[in-house]
């Protein structure tokens, strides 16, 4: 035997030298198994040789017992530890290098075996519930919904006579497969039955809640979706439909809180974003609503409705140009739902009229009237705007900006009574409803203070507005009053002014006065 350190006895001599050094006091301790362990790590044969020779050392009995008892245990344990480490390394390498595709292949083989055994069992007994359950579960996991639904359907029928069939499980799976196939009525019936068998499962609460939402049974949907949310609060689909359900129930603040959490997790969820905008709109938080709807205007699915909402907010706040822009953007989309398209055109026509672009409003109103005769007040709007389009003064009176309207009213006041001198002493405008002008009028025969009220409507004026006008006459100590409208006065309004110094002027006469003033 050849050792790398030289002679045959060199390792043994080294141990002896170390012992003698310890005995003389040159070193503080003696560890005879140190050399053995050192040699074991570099040369196992030499270590084993040392083990055999160490017993001849001339040492005291107590020292020999103490030193070599520890050495013997260490020498026995070292090969065992190394062997365990070696085996663990081999196992680790085997699992690390294992091809995952092989695992899938094994899984497929297992599944193929299951299918083969199940079909074999069914060939002998078509009502073998274990084989049917195996097939149904495999179809369900493979998302072969049609086959899964049919097989679970067989099991549902068997459950009436075979107690081994888990009726709650197969009924639930039958309903879920039907839901995936968009057979919503069949899915709903099955899930309702499943809930009577086993009510408190997440899958059941969520999917039945979703179907109740689709059926517009919002109270039922809210209860089921809340139960599902309590079971798995992190599930985004549950939060999405719960937030939308709460919006439908007009619980706008609760809806907003949930939908915001959904959007924190899924910022691209356009449907939840649109419902969030609607909730803000219903609460009158128009700034937040407009921000959301403006963001969605370009979206193919939600763009037309978003543009309708944002444009309507601008129209209500008298931002007519912005409203016009949004309505026009909404109408540029393709495949717009018919009801949304009609409303976009109707409100765009209103925005055009408010900007005195009646020539653009008329074609839209005519198109709406042809598509849906009698839609809202379109026939009346057509008649009114055709007249406005042909009469500039009437157009200014009804739809021009307040400054133009007041300027026209001043002209009428100055020329209302022929051969008179008129001094206008006060002008007040109530929003866009009417303007009051107080004037001192002097003729060759009389002098008086007259109050004129110009009412901007083509509809009917009632008694209430006349009572207000009469009170104003008293407050200003005016001797006489004239009320002018582009519409007509109600019978009660006419009765009110009888025996009072108030004259009523309706549309036909107003048009003549306007033409004379211009």
Q: Report pLDDT digits (tens) over 191-217.
A: 999 999 998 899 999 999 999 999 999
pLDDT at 102 over 50: no
CB 19 within 8 A of CB 59: yes
Q: Average pLDDT in the 165-189 region?
A: 96
Provide the token pair at 256.
């907003």
Confidence band for 104, pLDDT divided at 50, 70 and 90: very low
CB 200 within 8 A of CB 183: no
Q: What is the pLDDT of residues 406-423, one digit of tens each?
A: 999 999 999 999 999 999
Q: Which residue has the tokens 């069914």?
A: 122
* Distance in angstroms (rounded) separating the CA atoms of residues 271 and 331: 20
Confidence band for 86, pLDDT divided at 50, 70 and 90: low
pLDDT at 118 over 50: yes
pLDDT at 30 over 80: no
Please state, as a whole number, how many other Cβ atoms lie within 10 Å of the Cβ of residue 400: 19
CB 305 within 8 A of CB 340: yes
* Distance in angstroms (rounded) separating the CA atoms of residues 362 and 364: 5
More confident residue, 186 or 103: 186
Q: What is the pLDDT of residues 33-72, one digit of tens each?
A: 444 444 444 444 454 444 454 444 444 444 344 444 444 4
* Distance in angstroms (rounded) separating the CA atoms of residues 386 and 367: 14
More confident residue, 264 or 517: 264
At 59 the pLDDT is 41
Q: Average pLDDT in the 24-39 region?
A: 47
CB 509 within 8 A of CB 397: no
* All residues at 6 or more sequence positions from 163 whose CB lies less than 8 Å from its CB, including other chains: none
* Average pLDDT, rounded, for the chain: 85
* Distance in angstroms (rounded) separating the CA atoms of residues 26 and 357: 115
Please state, as a whole number, how many other Cβ atoms lie within 10 Å of the Cβ of residue 504: 18
Least confident range from 73-77, 343-347, 391-395, 442-446: namely 73-77
CB 45 within 8 A of CB 80: no
Provide the token pair at 386.
């055709």
Q: Is 425 helix (H, G, I), strand (E, B) or coil?
A: strand
Q: How far is CA 334 from the centre of its chain?
A: 23
Q: Average pLDDT in the 153-158 region?
A: 95
Q: Average pLDDT in the 293-302 region?
A: 96
Q: Average pLDDT in the 1-29 region?
A: 47
pLDDT at 106 over 70: no
Q: Is 45 helix (H, G, I), strand (E, B) or coil?
A: helix
pLDDT at 28 over 60: no
Q: What is the pLDDT of residues 313-342, one digit of tens each?
A: 999 999 999 999 999 999 999 999 999 999
Max Cα distance, the chain (Å)? 157
CB 489 within 8 A of CB 467: no
* All residues at 6 or more sequence positions from 184 whose CB lies less than 8 Å from its CB, including other chains: 178, 211, 214
């Amino acid at each position: 035997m050849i050792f790398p350190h030289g002679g045959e006895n060199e390792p043994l001599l080294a141990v002896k030298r170390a012992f003698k050094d310890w005995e003389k006091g040159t070193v503080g301790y003696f560890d005879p198994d140190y050399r053995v362990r050192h040699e074991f790590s570099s040369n196992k044969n030499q270590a084993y040789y040392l083990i055999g020779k160490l017993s001849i050392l001339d040492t005291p009995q107590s020292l020999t017992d103490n030193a070599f008892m520890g050495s013997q245990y260490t020498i026995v344990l070292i090969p065992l530890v190394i062997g365990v480490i070696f085996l663990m390394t081999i196992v680790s390498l085997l699992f690390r290098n294992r091809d995952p595709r092989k695992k899938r292949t094994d899984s497929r083989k297992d599944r193929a075996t299951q299918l083969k055994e199940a079909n074999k069992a069914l060939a002998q007994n078509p009502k073998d519930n274990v084989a049917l359950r195996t097939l149904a579960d495999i179809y369900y996991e493979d998302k072969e919904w049609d086959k899964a639904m049919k097989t679970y359907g067989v099991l549902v029928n068997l459950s009436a006579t075979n107690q081994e069939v888990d009726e709650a499980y197969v009924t639930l799976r039958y309903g879920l497969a039907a839901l995936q196939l968009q057979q919503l009525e069949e899915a709903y019936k099955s899930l309702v039955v499943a809930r009577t068998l086993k009510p408190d499962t997440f899958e059941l609460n969520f999917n039945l809640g979703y179907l109740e939402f689709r059926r517009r049974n919002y109270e039922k949907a809210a209860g089921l979706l809340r139960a599902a949310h309590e079971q798995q609060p992190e599930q985004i689909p549950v939060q999405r439909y719960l937030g939308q359900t709460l919006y439908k129930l007009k619980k706008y603040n609760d809806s907003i809180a949930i939908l915001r959490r959904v959007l924190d997790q899924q910022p691209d969820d356009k449907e939840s974003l649109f419902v969030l905008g609607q909730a803000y709109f219903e609460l009158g938080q128009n700034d937040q609503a407009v921000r959301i709807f403006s963001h969605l205007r370009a979206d193919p699915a939600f763009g037309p409705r978003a543009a309708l909402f944002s444009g309507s907010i601008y129209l209500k706040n008298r931002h007519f140009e912005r409203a016009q822009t949004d309505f026009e953007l909404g109408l540029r989309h393709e495949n717009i739902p018919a009801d949304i398209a009609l409303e976009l055109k109707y409100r765009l026509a209103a925005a055009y009229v408010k900007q005195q672009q009646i020539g653009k409003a008329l074609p839209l109103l005519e198109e709406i009237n042809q598509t849906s005769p009698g839609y809202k007040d379109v026939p009346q709007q057509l008649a009114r705007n055709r007249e406005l389009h042909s009469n500039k003064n009437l157009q200014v009176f009804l739809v021009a900006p307040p400054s133009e309207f007041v300027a026209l009213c001043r002209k009428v006041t100055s020329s209302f009574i022929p051969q008179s001198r008129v001094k206008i002493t006060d002008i007040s405008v109530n929003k866009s409803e009417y303007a009051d002008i107080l004037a001192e009028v002097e003729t060759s025969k009389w002098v008086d203070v007259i109050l004129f009220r110009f009412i901007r409507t083509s509809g009917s004026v009632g008694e209430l507005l006349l009572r207000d006008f009469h009170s104003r006459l008293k407050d200003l100590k005016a001797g006489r009053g004239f009320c002018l409208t582009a519409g007509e006065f109600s019978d009660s309004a006419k009765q009110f002014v009888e025996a009072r110094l108030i004259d009523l002027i309706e549309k036909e006469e107003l048009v003549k006065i306007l033409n004379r003033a211009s």
